[in-house]
Amino acid sequence: MIYDAIILGGGAAGLTAAIFLARKEMKTLVVTINVGGQNLLTEHEENYPGYLEKSGPKLMSLFEKQARSFGAEFVFGKATKVDKIENGFRVNLANGEDYDSRALILAYGKVPRALGIPGEDKFIGRGVSTSVVADAKSFVGKAVAIIGGGNSALEAADMMADIAKKVYIIHRRDSFRGDEVTVDKIKNKPHIEFVLNSVPVDIKGNKFVTALAVENVNTKQRKDLQVDGVFIEIGLVVDTNFVKHLVKVDEANEIVINQHAETSCTGIFAAGDVTNVPYKQTIISCGLGAIAALSAYMYLSKLEGKTGVKLDWG
């Protein structure tokens, strides 16, 4: 099967693009590690026009529902390679799956900083997560590990302690970078265990995560923590390494686009925080997602010889 368009990224830009393309009856696939992107990190979305709820995750869930209602399909996984093929592009995922499309939209924004350990990419969406807000409900009554020492990791542990049977916090140092008040709060929660001076070295499992191997940085001793989930909370980066052989990037490693959201490679479009657009806001990502989708639609229409196609106002 070859899709009309594959969208890499399930945040504001990617979901908006999916809505616009699916409404044009383009066979559309969204490949993403989560639904919501950076909006999953905020409960105070106060500057999105017409939206008074303020919750970023709830706003993104509405975007997802709308995209699905028009027929957009979703696959959860991490794209690790993109290549040009005869009739378009091939996207390879870390789990070994691959998908083909005639057009491609890069809209994955800033991505969680990777641990770089075995099993990390393989189990994305299968026990490995980068958002407690989005995925906490999948681990009710289960054991989880949270990687990180900043406020996001500490707050994630605080949230999971109320619903999980066991929460491990793995941090490479013996003290945290997060606020002391948050550290003191979670110290008193019975389900939380600190695994300090330790780093994750291997995520194990079959179809889903079953264990996390950690190594003490001082003694070099290793042990397995029996967990069902691993939350990675170590910050965000711009990652264009797997696409910059196809598209031009600037000195900040961001994808260069023109006013039509076109990249330097014909058939590839980009939108949102992964691009060189100077302002990084949800509303701007949505606008760029719409532009990328409409430009991709025009590109696909021309491939089919429909040169007289006009865009509607809807």
Would you state the CATH architecture of domain 2-112+236-303?
A: 3-Layer(bba) Sandwich (3.50)
Q: How confident is the model at residue 313 (pLDDT cuts 50, 70, 90)?
A: very low
- pLDDT of 44 reads 75
CA 166 to chain centre: 25
DSSP state of 145: E
Mark out the alpha helices in 97-229 (DSSP H runs). Answer: 132-135, 151-161, 180-187
Task: State how far the Cα of 96 lies from the Cα of 177, in Å rounded to an integer.
Answer: 36
185 phi/psi in degrees, rounded to 5 = -65, -45
Please give the model's pTM, rounded to 2 decimal places. 0.75
Q: Where are the domains of the chain?
A: 2-112+236-303, 128-232
Give the CATH fold of the 128-232 domain: FAD/NAD(P)-binding domain (3.50.50)
- DSSP reduced 3-state for 288: helix
229-253 pLDDT per residue, tens: 999 999 888 899 999 999 999 999 9
User: Are 182 and 154 a contacting pair, CB within 8 Å?
Assistant: yes
180-210 pLDDT per residue, tens: 888 988 988 889 999 999 999 999 999 999 9
Contacts 24+ apart (CB under 8 A), 138-142: 138/229, 139/163, 139/164, 139/228, 139/229, 140/164, 141/165, 142/227, 142/228, 142/229
Q: How confident is the model at residue 312 (pLDDT cuts 50, 70, 90)?
A: low
CA 5 to chain centre: 18
- pLDDT of 113 reads 86
Residue 6 bridge partners (DSSP)? 29, 104
27-40 pLDDT per residue, tens: 999 999 989 998 88
Q: Tell me whether the CATH fold assigned to 2-112+236-303 matches the one assigned to 128-232.
A: yes
Task: State how far the Cα of 73 lies from the Cα of 22, in Å rounded to an integer.
Answer: 9
Mark out the alpha helices in 168-231 (DSSP H runs). Answer: 180-187
User: Are 89 and 101 a contacting pair, CB within 8 Å?
Assistant: yes
